Structure 1
Amino acid sequence: MTDQANISPAAGLRAALRTLVRPVAVVTAAHAGQRYAMAATAFCEVSMDPPSMLVCINRANATHSAVAAGADLCLNLLAADQADISQRCGGGVAAEERFAVGDWRIAAEGPPRLADACASIVLRPASIVDHATHAVVIGEVVDVWQRGLSSPLGFHDGSYLFPLAHAAINLVAQSARLGEAGAMQDGYLMLDVMRAFYWFDEGLQSALRARGWEAVSRSQSMTFANIALGVRRPADLARNLGITRQGVSKMLQEMVERDWIVIEPDPTDKRASIVAFSEKSRQLRADALEILGKIDAALGERIGSKALDALRTTLARDWGPPPEIPEPAAQ
């Protein structure tokens, strides 16, 4: 068990919540001729009599001003293929531009509704409780639209979870271990590379925990790798990791609280910031590199040093840009 004594309650809570799979929604409102949209994962049902839900909204978010003025809000539950909508509404995009993607229905009165969401729930605020940085908005349900059976978009460990793809990747990784991969092992290099990544990552994480390091999530591990490769701006990290700027900001803050990284002003742009390794992370990185070296050595003993060298040489080569696959000819 990892020693949690030196972790602050806030950092511990963030780490605990990252283990949950959460649904993703876009909360919308309209007030005084202005439309608002924000991505959210902090919402849940409160009562069925009367039907009501709560949504947590940061009071610094523009959407809060509309709700505080009495505007209804719409909780649009996103489908698995709508991560781009969540990203647009997660920050960094102008208010009206957030509605440029998706089938939005704009009524003369009431909040914008996403017609192709899994479901859209209109809430009329009944109670607003301010606590610290956020407002807890409890709203009574006044209308519900449901598209039908569709897979929801999930958020886990700082990144979007695409249910079908995630299940397929895990199936490939587990089936290889159980010897039940069947046809999935035949001719698909991408799946072989995916299995190899899981194999290395599980060995690395297990060894780090054995040395007493706090749990490092895969997203955090990939963040370390990006920083080591020179990707240091939060916006670039968010793009490479496939998560929102808000999501990467929360993850970076957790890493700062654990004293793994520091966030500094960008010397080339006073409006931006960059991420750098902290002194504490020096030992973490040293341990990780030592462990990876031992994993490499163990793999060489299993498959032979020549095969390992050939594999490393092949993967290190410049493969050029991905090929353009032509569409099949019309029948």
Structure 2
Amino acid sequence: MEPVPMLLAMTYRAMGDQFHDRLRQIGLEPLRPAHGYVFRFLARRRATTVDIGGHLGVTKQAAAKIVAELDEWGYVLREPHPTDKRAQYVTLTTKGRDYLKFADNLWTDLENEMAEAIGQDTVATIKAGLAAYLQHAHGEDQPGLRPVW
């Protein structure tokens, strides 16, 4: 059997693939995992493109491309930065916040399907164990959801 980190990575990938397959089935914009990391990052703050690039671990240019796509689709709003004329603040629009709620419901659906496959008690044990490990590893300073490229 594979080591736990590999199983976690493969499970996350399998669930992520199912998530994006469902987005395609309902006809949403061609959202990719990188977009999801931006949604989660912006859910708690407004940020500049440089901030978003740093969070994603990509260049400012790559982050700007992602932000431009999300802006074109109406998920984010770009506003002038009050002190840096070259920068813009990026925030989620109502459509972006609604998408996050939709995504959370879709993740819940996938978690329920996992529970059907392995049992609700097993899923509850996994969740409790992972939360305990994150508390052990990071204490109260929990890292946000970030991509691993």
State if a TM-score over 0.5 links the two structures.
yes
Whether the 8 Å CA contact 1:208–1:288 is kept in 2: the answer is: no
Please give the TM-score of this superposition, normalised by the length of structure 2.
Answer: 0.78
Whether the 8 Å CA contact 1:208–1:287 is kept in 2: the answer is: no
Long gaps (5+) in structure 2: 139-149
Cα distance in 1 for partners of 2:105, 2:127 equals 18
**Aligned residues with identical type, % of pairs:** 19
1:259 Cα deviation from its structure 2 partner: 0.8
The structure that has the greater radius of gyration is: 1
Cα distance in 1 for partners of 2:45, 2:7 equals 27
User: Partner of 1:296: helix, strand, or coil?
Assistant: helix
Q: Deviations over 1:9-51 (max 9, x none)?
A: xxxxxxxxxxxxxxxxxxxxxxxxxxxxxxxxxxxxxxxxxxx
Does residue 260 (structure 1) correspond to residue 105 (structure 2)? The answer is no
Please give the TM-score of this superposition, normalised by the length of structure 1.
Answer: 0.38
Partner of 2:137: 320
Give the direction of change, closer, same or farther, for the CA distance of 1:311–1:209 in structure 2 (3 Å limit).
same
User: Which aligned segments of 4 or more residues in structure 1 are displaced greater than 3 angstroms?
Assistant: none
Give the direction of change, closer, same or farther, for the CA distance of 1:231–1:284 in structure 2 (3 Å limit).
same
Give the direction of change, closer, same or farther, for the CA distance of 1:217–1:264 in structure 2 (3 Å limit).
same
**In the alignment, residue 137 of structure 2 is paired with which amino acid?**
G
Partner of 2:23: 208
Cα distance in 1 for partners of 2:24, 2:36 equals 13
Long gaps (5+) in structure 1: 1-184, 322-331
Partner of 2:114: 299
Partner of 2:147: none
Cα distance in 2 for partners of 1:299, 1:222 equals 22
Normalized per residue, the structure richer in strand is 1
Does residue 251 (structure 1) correspond to residue 66 (structure 2)? The answer is yes
Alignment of 1:1-331 (within 5 A): 185-186=1-2, 188-230=3-45, 232-266=47-81, 270-271=83-84, 272-317=87-132, 318-321=135-138
Q: Deviations over 1:256-304 (max 9, x none)?
A: 11111112245xx622533211122233223212211111111111111
**In the alignment, residue 297 of structure 1 is paired with which amino acid?**
N
1:201 Cα deviation from its structure 2 partner: 0.9
Cα distance in 1 for partners of 2:111, 2:14 equals 11
Whether the 8 Å CA contact 2:45–2:91 is kept in 1: the answer is: no
Normalized per residue, the structure richer in helix is 2
Whether the 8 Å CA contact 2:49–2:60 is kept in 1: the answer is: yes
CA RMSD of aligned residues (A): 2.0
Give the direction of change, closer, same or farther, for the CA distance of 1:291–1:275 in structure 2 (3 Å limit).
same
Whether the 8 Å CA contact 2:76–2:92 is kept in 1: the answer is: yes
Give the direction of change, closer, same or farther, for the CA distance of 1:315–1:248 in structure 2 (3 Å limit).
same
The number of equivalent residue pairs is: 134
**In the alignment, residue 312 of structure 1 is paired with which amino acid?**
K
Whether the 8 Å CA contact 2:19–2:106 is kept in 1: the answer is: yes
